[in-house]
Structure formats: structure tokens, C-alpha cells
Amino acid sequence: MINKSVLILAGLASGPVLGGVISGFDRILTARFQSRIGPPLLQPFYDVIKLLGKEKVVVNVWQAFCVNAYLTAASIATALFFLRSDLLLILFIQAVGAVFLVVGAFSSTSPYSQAGAHRELLQMLCYEPLLILISVGIYFQTGSFKIESVDAMNQPLLLKLPFLFVVLSFVLTIKLRKSPFDLSTSHHAHQELVKGLLTDYSGPLLALTEIAHWYETVLLLGFCSLFWTTNPIGALLLVGITYLGEIWIDNVSARMNWRWMLGYGWGMGMALSLVNLVWLYAR
């Protein structure tokens, strides 16, 4: 019991702490890629604290509710992940949170917010099936959707599900809002729609969406680490290399349109998943 509560607390703390540090690293690395020095490591924390202290401007009540729902869902999903719970449950809760973010953006009349929300829905349409397929692959391999059974494996999943890992890194690019898939909202001001989805979230509400995004980052990187559970160094290396790859792709590519994303995402993603699943099945 005590063990469990410690795990839940670790899960809840991981978003605001680990997520923020990861985001700080990301910004420094991105700046270095662009031959700049970049902000200090703690910059994301400064940003969020400042936003929490700004005047609260709420466009409508729905939006405030949706932000809180998004944050709650993202934190619960991360806590459940730390509890090594059911993968499908975690994905479902995370998806509910993401839908709330979109509903919040739809509830404002700003055209930027609306366009961003539409694109976010398309992004979800693209990555949710892929996430489910990855879970199915894990189920085929371990015989259960529980993360505990992944931990019990004596061989890294990556060796059995290499293509599904590629699909996961694809999903990661979309979820972390990296180019070429930062359609709905972006970290860099060089796009045709910069903040899109987040246009009308401001001050404390924007801070909450940022914290929720940190939770999601931790959750998805945790998902990556499932592919190498046999030793922690391997897991860390795998996650680190994947994340570096994401930052690299973000900096070398431009934003694509949603048609390209859906076509490529579904075409490549589903094909790779299918090949991997058939391979597992045939063995």
C-alpha cells in the first residue's frame, strides 16, 4: 500500500519536475542547433511561474473547466503509468484529456483557436489508432495489456517490436508538437499558425496546459522506455536517443499539412504495425 502511494506521488511529481527539466534541455539543444546560446535550463519553470502569476483572463467558463480536466486526465494517466497499470486504460484517459483541450479551444470564437482545434482533432485521428496498434503488439508479445507483464519480460521488447517502435517515435513527433507535425500549435514563431490551439488560453490557464503537456511528455517517453525494460541504462539510452532524434527532426524539417500527415501517418504507421504484427503472429 505504502509502495503504491509512493509510486502515485512519484507519478504526480514527475510531470512538473521531470517534464520541466526535459523541456528546458529541449530548448537549450534547439538553440544550439540554431547556433544560439539559448535560455537557462530552468526557463520553463520561470515561464510557468510567471504565467501562474498573471492576471486571469477567461474567455468563457467552459475553457477554464476544460483546461482543468485536461490537466487532471494527463496527471492521472501518468500516475497510472507509474503504478504499472493497464496500457489501454492509460491511453484512454490520456485521449480523454486531449479531447478536453480541443473542446476548450473550440469554445472560443477566435479563428486561430478554431483552426488549431480542427488540426488537433486531425492529429488525434492520426496517432490514436497507432497507439492502440502499439499496445496490441505489446499484448501479442506479453499476453497482457498490463505494464507489469512487460516488466516481467526477460528480453527487450525492441527486438521483437522494432517496427512498432518506429511507429511510436512517429506518434511522439506528433504528441510532442515537433515539426513536421506541429500543425495545431507550435513552440517556434516561424509558422503560419503559431499558437493555434492555445491562442485563447492565457495566464494561469496557459500555465496549466503547459504542465499537462509536461505530464504527457513524461508519459510518452515512459511508453518509449517500455521497449527496453531489462535494464535501466538501456531504457535511459533508448529514451535519450529517441528524444534527441525528435529534436533533430524538429530542427531540420518544415511543417507539413494535415493531408500529408494523415496519408503518411496512416499509410506508413499502419503498414509498419501490420508487418510487425504479422511477423509476431507467424512466428
Tell me which residues touch another protein (CB under 8 A): 27, 31, 34-40, 43, 45-47, 49-50, 53-57, 189, 194-195, 199-203, 206
DSSP track, the chain: -HHHHHHHHHHHHHIIIIIHHHHHHHHHHHHHHTT-----TTHHHHHHHHHHTS----S-HHHHHHHHHHHHHHHHHHHHHHTT-BHHHHHHHHHHHHHHHHHHHHTS--HHHHHHHHHHHHHHHHHHHHHHHHHHHHHHHHSSSBHHHHHT-SS-HHHH-HHHHHHHHHHHHHHTT-TTS--S--SSS-SSSSSGGGTT--HHHHHHHHHHHHHHHHHHHHHHHGGG-S-HHHHHHHHHHHHHHHHHHHHH-PPPPHHHHHHHHHHHHHHHHHHHHHHHHH-
User: With respect to another protein, which residue has the nearer C-beta, 47 or 120?
Assistant: 47
Work out how close the CB of 14 gets to another protein at its nearest, in angstroms, rounded to a whole number.
Answer: 21
Work out how close the CB of 37 gets to another protein at its nearest, in angstroms, rounded to a whole number.
Answer: 5
User: With respect to another protein, which residue has the nearer C-beta, 46 or 260?
Assistant: 46
Work out how close the CB of 52 gets to another protein at its nearest, in angstroms, rounded to a whole number.
Answer: 8
Work out how close the CB of 180 gets to another protein at its nearest, in angstroms, rounded to a whole number.
Answer: 21
User: With respect to another protein, which residue has the nearer C-beta, 109 or 155?
Assistant: 109
User: With respect to another protein, which residue has the nearer C-beta, 199 or 276?
Assistant: 199
Work out how close the CB of 53 gets to another protein at its nearest, in angstroms, rounded to a whole number.
Answer: 5
User: With respect to another protein, which residue has the nearer C-beta, 11 or 104?
Assistant: 104
